[in-house]
Chains A and B, each alone.
Chain A
Amino acid sequence: MAQELKTIELPIHTDEMMINMGPQHPSTHGVLRLVLRTDGEVVVDMDPVMGYLHRCAEKIGETVSPHQFVPYTDRLDYLSAMNMNLGFSLAVEKLCGVEVSERTRHIRVMVCELNRIASHLIAAGCYGLDLGSFTPLMYCIREREKILNLFEAVCGARMTCSYIMPGGIRYGDLPDGWVERCEQFVEEFLAVVPDLHHALTSNEILVRRGANIGVLSPEMAVAYGCTGPVLRGSGVAWDLRRHGEPIYTKMYDDYRFEIAASVGGSYPKDHVYPAIPPHAVLGDSWHRFYVRMIEAFQSALIIQQGLQKYKKSEPVISEPMKIITKIPEGDAYVETEAPKGQMGFYVVGDGTNILKRSRIRSSSFCNLSVFREISKGCMIGDIPSILGSIDIVLGEVDR
């Protein structure tokens, strides 16, 4: 449909109209504001305006100790708080040269992958919602609910967990029965995935709405600093769980999983995923969405492995650092593969227990910067499709 649209673009132009989409709008995923300049239904140019959710996270980071800053990282990407905690904790650990125990590492991997599934479920459901399909979202929410219950069991909080701390994890070992509940969840989730594929991935209307829309070339993706599923949707097999800092890749060294990216025109073959529709082009909205669906599946398999490794590991849990722990002078930067993309924390210590600077590289922020380029010439109806496939969280963009 979109190929046809480009070829029959008529030489008729109307007066340009300025449309203010947001900050209160159903499909801008929070308080993003888009100033669209449209020619009829066609978007000529647009300017994303941010900052409506700016809460001075970096300024706060200069006044509290790393231990106290962890709850603020929860509120960055509030849909994947565990991954935010992990990113910040690893940065501080790298600066301080702290190592965590094997069991702690496995727990971290499991909760982070659970949170990745939760985040991707919301992304997939909201992508359907943005395109007018409400029902799949409810199925996604139902599965996510089970993950939040698991989080509640480990740390008492459902969304803003603050579970992973610099130096270890809070509250000691996993509670009794958690492993069995988690196993049960993974089984149930793997059984639900085909339903979601049926309702979303291979739905003809959804394919038509996403295929060949907002095509992002791999070169452009890299140049704009796009990461995560946005980058992999463009066919770049780059996943920090394999290519990142040693302190991060060490966590995933003994896990088997495939990078969910199309290499040479084919996605991982470890499992049967729905076929790629003929009109989809690498780097379009549909591929970004597809990558998330594959990743969620892969994460479930990682959790299964993690549970086995957890059972075999020595029961030693690393305790978090204290509030008064002195942070050495120097700086460290760690990026982790958060669900939305590469989440980086740059921490600068000055010998006291309070960081001199805690700079946050937000994945959504960088992914959003390419939005303007790839949405020129699309229709107003494609804006939710592209934005939904980029999958931003405004808490992280505005910080």
Chain B
Amino acid sequence: MKFADIAEMVRNRLPKAAVSVVSDAVDPWIETTSGSLVALCQFLRDEEPLRFDMLHLVSAVDEWTPLKPPKKNPKTGEILAPGDDPNRPDPGFTVVYHMSSLANQHTLVVKVRVPRWQNAKGPKNDTNLPALPSVSGIWPAANWHEREVYDLSGVTFTDHPDLRRILCADDWVGHPLRKDYAEPKAYHGIEH
């Protein structure tokens, strides 16, 4: 099936799930919301002409960029170019699901946006991580991918059977693939 047909089918059957459909990109994608993610994935896997039976990859892309300070004239202190607005909206994470159907030989990309912190004004630590519903009940393959996304990007998955760190040590602090991640000075006395 072509992407347009898949998108059309999703739009007809689950009108609320497809927030936007981008079909002119290199890899066209369907954007959905965290609330309808599980329903959409279930639909994509089970519905006959779609049958997306294999989940290839779950990845989180941090859209945040470091704040640029305003450019000043070093002598006069005159502002030459404005910096980034410190109160700019949270660009969030894009969590991307790549899936394909071995039976029907087509692929699909589904994207979900989540904020970088669950509560924008809350503390920036592990108690305030954004959450997505887990799709590991639909594709067991998602189990480890979601663990990895949690470990490295700090996006939690509700209803995940075993959400532990997978690549970093269990007592590691922070989520290294966040753009604002600061390396710890030492780990168990090992300095660098």
Contacts and interface: CB of A to CB of B under 8 A. Distances in A.
User: Do A and B come together as binding partners?
Assistant: yes
Interface of A: 50-51, 54, 56, 58-59, 62, 94-95, 97, 220, 222-225, 236, 238, 243, 330-333, 335, 342, 344, 346, 348, 356-357, 359, 361, 365-366, 369-370, 398-399
Q: What 10 A-B pairs come out closest when comparing CB atoms?
A: A225-B141, A359-B59, A51-B167, A361-B57, A332-B26, A369-B144, A54-B167, A357-B61, A222-B53, A224-B141
A153 B141 CA distance: 40
B6 interface: no
Nearest to B141: A225
Given A225-B141, A236-B102, A369-B143, A94 B26 contact: yes
Contacts of A342: 56
A50 B56 contact: no
B144 A357 contact: no
B62 A357 contact: yes
A342 B168 CA distance: 24
Given A58-B152, A330-B26, A331-B26, 6 more contacts: A51-B167, A59-B177, A95-B26, A331-B25, A333-B98, A365-B144
A346 B96 contact: yes
Nearest to B172: A51
A344 B176 contact: no
A370 B144 CA distance: 10
Given A51-B167, A225-B141, A346 B53 contact: no
Interface of A is mostly: mixed
Interface string B153-188: 000000000000111110000001101000000000
Given A58-B152, A59-B177, A224-B140, A344 B27 contact: no
A346 B59 contact: yes
Contact of B140 (A50, A344, A348, A369): A369
A196 B177 CA distance: 44
A51 B169 contact: yes
A342 B152 CA distance: 22
In the complex, which range does the number of interface residues on chain B fall in? 20 to 34
Nearest to A221: B54
Given A59-B176, A224-B140, A344 B169 contact: no
Q: Which of A58, A62, A332 has the most CB of B within 10 A?
A: A58
A330 B141 contact: no
Q: Which of A58, A62, A333 has the most CB of B within 10 A?
A: A333
A26 B76 CA distance: 67
Given A51-B168, A222-B54, A366 B141 contact: yes
A243 B105 contact: yes
Nearest to B149: A359
A149 B33 CA distance: 52
Q: Which of B61, B98, B102 has the most CB of A within 10 A?
A: B102
A220 B139 CA distance: 10
B166 A51 contact: yes
Contacts of A236: 102
Contacts of A51: 165-169
A225 B55 contact: yes
B109 interface: yes
B140 A238 contact: no
Contacts of A348: 61
Contacts of A238: 102
Contacts of A243: 102, 105
Contacts of A366: 141, 144
Contacts of B98: 333, 344, 346, 361
Nearest to A334: B27
A331 B95 CA distance: 13
A42 B169 CA distance: 29
Nearest to A365: B144
Contact of B166 (A50, A56, A356): A50
A216 B91 CA distance: 42
Contact of B167 (A220, A223, A398): A398
Contacts of B59: 346, 357, 359
Contacts of B25: 330-331
A252 to B, nearest CB: 16
Contacts of B140: 220, 223-224, 369-370
A223 B53 contact: yes
Given A51-B168, A58-B152, A243-B105, A369 B57 contact: no
A366 B145 CA distance: 8
B139 A54 contact: no
